[in-house]
Amino acid sequence: MKGPAPRRPRRGRVSGFLLRFGLWVGIPVLLAGGLYAAAELSRSPLGQRTLQYAADRMLDGTARLGLVVTDVKVEGRETTDRDTILAALGAGPGTPILAMNPRRAKEQLETLPWVRSAVVERRLPDTLYIRLVERKPLAVWQHGGKLELIDREGGVIPVTRLDRFAKLPLVVGEGAARHAAELLDMLATEPELAARVSAAIRVGDRRWNLRIDNAIDVFLPADAPAGAWAQLARLERSNAILKRDVQTVDVRLPDRLVLRVNPEVPKEAPTSPTTKKGRPSAKNT
């Protein structure tokens, strides 16, 4: 008959506990020591070069492990060309992916003329993901003797050539850019008449004058311009008032519409009849 099994020595348990304790304590101490050493090294040019060398060697090591950029995925791009995006990123195929700083790349992308906002992500092991929100051109803004392209927020899009945006609406005057989107949304409620608006002039940063068919000026009120615009469109459909010989249309008063017509050109005086001898006849005195 066998007796009770002998107890296992506790040395294994104690050594395992000491090992775990050493890891718990030792790793933070090593990390703290490493950070302290890095901080001390960074205070001198030699230390900075040493740290940079170590970082470069580490990135080379990650590249050999396959952590390099092989694909750049871009969403939301309509106007900005791909090469410009890659130049702003400062990274392309073959670049160690851990060397790419997403925050810095985001800041660089948002300096591009057409980019309103950007999101940059590293998707390990080999992909950079870019999501752009591009600015939409709304109108051409004329002010201070210059022309500039603006977006819906009234911000200037810094482009050098405006010829390809010649079909966009023209807004004129200080303050016009800030209120352009609101005006154009209002005009769009009457698309047939809006298509005939060749320019919108901001007056005193309070209200708008519209130039229609490059010939007729329409004075909109500062308050409730949408109602005046709708009234003008109804009158044009029913009476074609803007197809007459009109110079200005004032719809600033809620209960009346004031038209100013072009002055009549004086008729040419009739030629005096001549006598048979070819001389003008004498007037009776």
DSSP 52-94: HHHHHHHHHHHHHTT-B--EEEEES-SSS-HHHHHHHHT--TT
Are residues 32 and 99 located together in one domain of the fold?
Answer: no
Q: Report how far apart, in Å, the C-alpha atoms of 180 and of each of 135, 185, 206, 227 are.
A: 15, 9, 12, 18
Are residues 202 and 125 located together in one domain of the fold?
Answer: no
Are residues 106 and 190 located together in one domain of the fold?
Answer: no
By C-alpha distance, which of 148, 197, 137 is closest to 176?
Answer: 148
Q: Is residue 162 part of a domain?
A: yes
CA 22 to chain centre: 56
3-state secondary structure of 1: coil
Residue 4 has what pLDDT? 56
Q: Is residue 81 part of a domain?
A: yes
Q: Is residue 254 part of a domain?
A: yes
Place of tokens 């469109």: 233
Are residues 175 and 122 located together in one domain of the fold?
Answer: no
3-state secondary structure of 131: strand
**Residue % of the chain over a pLDDT of 90:** 54
Other beta carbons within 10 Å of 200? 23
The two three-digit tokens of residue 178, written as one number: 């800030």
Task: Annotate 207-229 with b (16+ C-beta within 10 A) or e (fewer).
Answer: bbbbbbeeebbbbbbeeebbebb
Band the pLDDT of 41: cuts 50, 70, 90.
Answer: very low
Are residues 257 and 141 located together in one domain of the fold?
Answer: yes
Q: Is residue 97 part of a domain?
A: yes
The domain in which residue 241 lies consists of 137-261
- pLDDT tens digits for range 138-177: 999 999 999 999 999 999 999 888 999 999 999 999 999 9
pTM above 0.75, yes or no: no
Are residues 233 and 189 located together in one domain of the fold?
Answer: yes
Count of domains in the chain? 3
Residue 95 has what pLDDT? 84
Are residues 87 and 101 located together in one domain of the fold?
Answer: yes
Classify burial at 202, counting beta carbons within 10 Å of its beta carbon; exposed 0-12, middle 13-18, buried 19 or more: buried
**CA dist., res. 84 & res. 44, Å (int):** 37
Question: Per-residue pLDDT averaged across 68-92, rounded?
Answer: 90
Are residues 105 and 195 located together in one domain of the fold?
Answer: no
Q: Report how far apart, in Å, the C-alpha atoms of 255 and of each of 199, 213, 217, 228, 249 are.
A: 26, 25, 19, 10, 14
Q: Is residue 8 part of a domain?
A: no
Band the pLDDT of 283: cuts 50, 70, 90.
Answer: very low
Tell me the CATH number at 209. Answer: 3.40.50.11690
Are residues 200 and 116 located together in one domain of the fold?
Answer: no
The two three-digit tokens of residue 135, written as one number: 């600015």
